[in-house]
Structure 1
């Protein structure tokens, strides 16, 4: 528009401002649309800029002649690497479990977020963990949280192999904890790094013990009976009746060692099943808790635990529902002596991340308070109907049945041997069909 204004100004130097306005109103431009005026202005400006005496025609640009600047790929071969271990914590209810999955899941996984952050910051060369000696301590299910989970893997380093051996060079190393916490969601936090794990270290196989806690509300439960029943888990037992039987894993040995099994008070009306063991089967803790809740409700005797652990007396797993996933957390993992380097709590970064976690805690606290207000404003039944039984599954809702059936009288699943055999047969049949299709 500046050129059009100058054009009018230069052609009407002797005319007063009022005369200019009248002259402009009498021109044919008054009748033009906005689009026509803009087009004309652009034509006039192109004439001025290029010194042409004819309206500038729109030029076509040959895209093939335009060279785009290619993004330079990061060359990991030009950088050193080192094997480290990372300790981290997470709240599990926003994730589809810990481990990355081969297929897409409804929610992201915790490992998926961590590997994505590492890949984004060029700490690892790809999103495929198997390519850099990746290992995890304990695999948690969807909804389950962890306070001290550990992974080990090979990552990019600022130091040479020789420099990595000397602790005095640690300040020159990449700030792994800081970088990852910058990129991770607030409900996944890296707490420490071990720059020199013991020789032959593996996050899964080097773990001495795993410590779980399952939180539950004491209402309607006999805590003394649960304490007595939980102690029956301690020792070396066959836990095939306390896990999910899966033929794809082809597990034949279900013996596991439980170091400690207790019922502890947490706060107010909340207790926890506190469990320490060397290793656990799939869904083992939730199955153990489901049976403890049956004892606590008085639906089963304390002797249920011993009967279920006796494979001669209960050779096949009775059909029952597992306890809910949300109250379960992997509280700690014990390893041989390691040089864990935690964040400097006195610097700005630590304060910033601490505030983020504080904000997250306040967020959930406010939500819990609002839910309680919501609950108190609604009418509720004083007690359950006497004609039905509500089985406590740890989720607050439970499962309602018309008549409770004792565990010893229930239908049972196929034996471990049968489940493994059926899986292998299906696998062979699928492989045969695939082979025939290729031919």
Structure 2
């Protein structure tokens, strides 16, 4: 058409040549606020997972050629809404170096094409530049070829944050101490029907449990301790599916006076109580996989100042936003609680921690109907495989 502007040529993306690059196996330490995400692990029916965004960032920055070939392993899975602080993953990434600790040239690559440099890629800065603001890579370390972020992890630390409210904290502490040691925790987790999980052991060791005021948050505006924040910290080598949230649910029942601390020991006695009572889990939002340890593996974390300080600024912005909203609501509560007729209770703080509305008439845990036990599920599975009629059992929560 006369006078029309010339058609723009579509810019084709230049293909990155991985054959000119060395590789290096590294561990990445990363943090995420998982409240608005569908969990850590890639899922077939959701693109809104932490790993999906991390893999996208790794591919966009050309740090990996494909997610299938990078050997990705992670310290632990976290479910929808759960956060993490010092989560660790291991993988093979592109390196700028020709040689050095952990640097290797895969078959099909050629060191002769290498452009001389002694400066390694700034992995943290590169990834954080394309990740969502709630996901930050904190540090990286070279690791041995056979290192696995999952199987080499010797200890995991979970934290659960909640308000004191009207909870009996001393009773909760007494109950939590009964969790320490090696126990069969089948009554404090969700038993999956997956074949591999039905065959697994539900014995785990909890090294330590503490419940104390949160270091960075306490309320002094009105002299009331109901608004003080608490941290439950649970340390162990490994954990079962939903184990922490089930533990918190039982501790909340103890703290509210509905159960005695001894109910922990009773639920751990699987000879007397082989099936879990039907109870709901605590909310996922306050839960955080806070740290993990690798005894026997020399991890020398590289903290890059530019990325570190940028992460601090990112988190400060998030903190200010949340703290501003929290203080606005706290100011409203302060005025309302001073009005005639205000009850002064803090039930809302405990109600928030339950998934779904709290029961009006509380039934003690050991008097409730039970879920299918581990043996029940195994029996169902075997009967299904053999084509035999299945015994009708209570369906698991």
- TM-score normalized with structure 1 length: 0.73
Secondary structure of the equivalent of 1:408?
helix
- Contact 1:99/1:111 (CA < 8 Å) preserved in 2? yes
Secondary structure of the equivalent of 1:321?
coil
Partners of 1:296 and 1:170 in 2: CA distance: 60
- Contact 2:249/2:354 (CA < 8 Å) preserved in 1? no
**Higher alpha-carbon Rg:** 1
Equivalent residue number for residue 338 of structure 1: 298
Match runs of 1:29-428 below 5 Å: 58=2, 70-104=12-46, 108-126=48-66, 129-160=67-98, 162-165=99-102, 172-195=119-142, 197-248=143-194, 249-266=197-214, 267-268=217-218, 269-336=228-295, 337-345=297-305, 347=306, 350-375=308-333, 382=343, 392=350, 395=353, 399-422=357-380
Q: CA RMSD in A?
A: 3.2
Secondary structure of the equivalent of 1:263?
strand
1:389-435 alpha-carbon deviations (Å, 9 max, x no partner): 99946527973323211111100111213324545776899xxxxxx
Partners of 1:285 and 1:259 in 2: CA distance: 14
Match runs of 1:15-34 below 5 Å: none
Partners of 2:355 and 2:161 in 1: CA distance: 15
Secondary structure of the equivalent of 2:276?
coil
Cα distance change on mapping 1:427 and 1:146 into 2, 3 Å: farther
The number of residues matched between the two structures is 358
Cα distance change on mapping 1:171 and 1:428 into 2, 3 Å: farther
Partners of 2:381 and 2:65 in 1: CA distance: 36
Cα distance change on mapping 1:60 and 1:265 into 2, 3 Å: closer
Partners of 1:71 and 1:122 in 2: CA distance: 13
- Contact 1:319/1:413 (CA < 8 Å) preserved in 2? yes
Displacement of 1:136 after TM fit? 0.5
Partners of 1:392 and 1:425 in 2: CA distance: 42
Partners of 2:139 and 2:54 in 1: CA distance: 14
- Contact 1:392/1:398 (CA < 8 Å) preserved in 2? no
Secondary structure of the equivalent of 1:401?
coil
- Contact 1:391/1:398 (CA < 8 Å) preserved in 2? no
Displacement of 1:383 after TM fit? 6.5
Displacement of 1:78 after TM fit? 3.2
Partners of 2:35 and 2:150 in 1: CA distance: 23
1:200-252 alpha-carbon deviations (Å, 9 max, x no partner): 21000100100111112222211111111101001100001100111113343
1:231-289 alpha-carbon deviations (Å, 9 max, x no partner): 10011000011001111133431000100012222243222221100000000000011
Partners of 1:215 and 1:354 in 2: CA distance: 21
Q: 1 or 2, which has the higher helix percentage? A: 1
Partners of 1:98 and 1:264 in 2: CA distance: 28
Partners of 1:158 and 1:425 in 2: CA distance: 56
Cα distance change on mapping 1:119 and 1:425 into 2, 3 Å: farther
- Contact 2:178/2:264 (CA < 8 Å) preserved in 1? yes
Secondary structure of the equivalent of 1:399?
coil
- Contact 1:252/1:416 (CA < 8 Å) preserved in 2? no
Partners of 1:412 and 1:182 in 2: CA distance: 49
1:76-123 alpha-carbon deviations (Å, 9 max, x no partner): 233221111000111111211111112225xx1111111111111111
Gaps of 5+ in 2: 104-115, 219-227, 388-397
Secondary structure of the equivalent of 1:193?
strand
Gaps of 5+ in 1: 1-56, 430-439
Partners of 1:211 and 1:413 in 2: CA distance: 28
